[in-house]
Structure 1
């Protein structure tokens, strides 16, 4: 089954991988993502599927979410700068 891993950050990549049926999102990231891409991920990230966090609220946690054909696994990082603070700093500079 094909899924896509989509990573936006300093090292952008979008990669199609083959995973077995009943594979979880966590298993896909740990076992089926090539090591050269795994090295690009920082330790502090969460996962989502098609824009929805795998946080146990709307979708299960990554270790229990069973992937479907053509799912897009997205890698999310915490915000470095609060957007409100960034706008204030920009307005103050102008």
Structure 2
């Protein structure tokens, strides 16, 4: 699940960056104003992917939080990266209780 979270974070960052750049060029700031939240969510998801084995509780909850905040920021554009981060977070929290 580490690679799923890493891929979701990188995709989330790149999609948010593209939405931010196209919003500035197009002069429609619908995604531009809140696109930084999507970029921040992508960065946090990438950082959490490196700590999945060391801190599974924090990483799981932060991955779920980043998926929700990314979907809030960019709605339909963040669905694939948000789903990947959400699946990695739920799997990490479910795996945490097993011996």
Same fold (TM over 0.5): no
TM-score bracket relative to the smaller structure: under 0.3
| Structure with the greater alpha carbon radius of gyration | 1
After TM superposition, the score normalised by the length of structure 1 is 0.27
More helix by share: 2
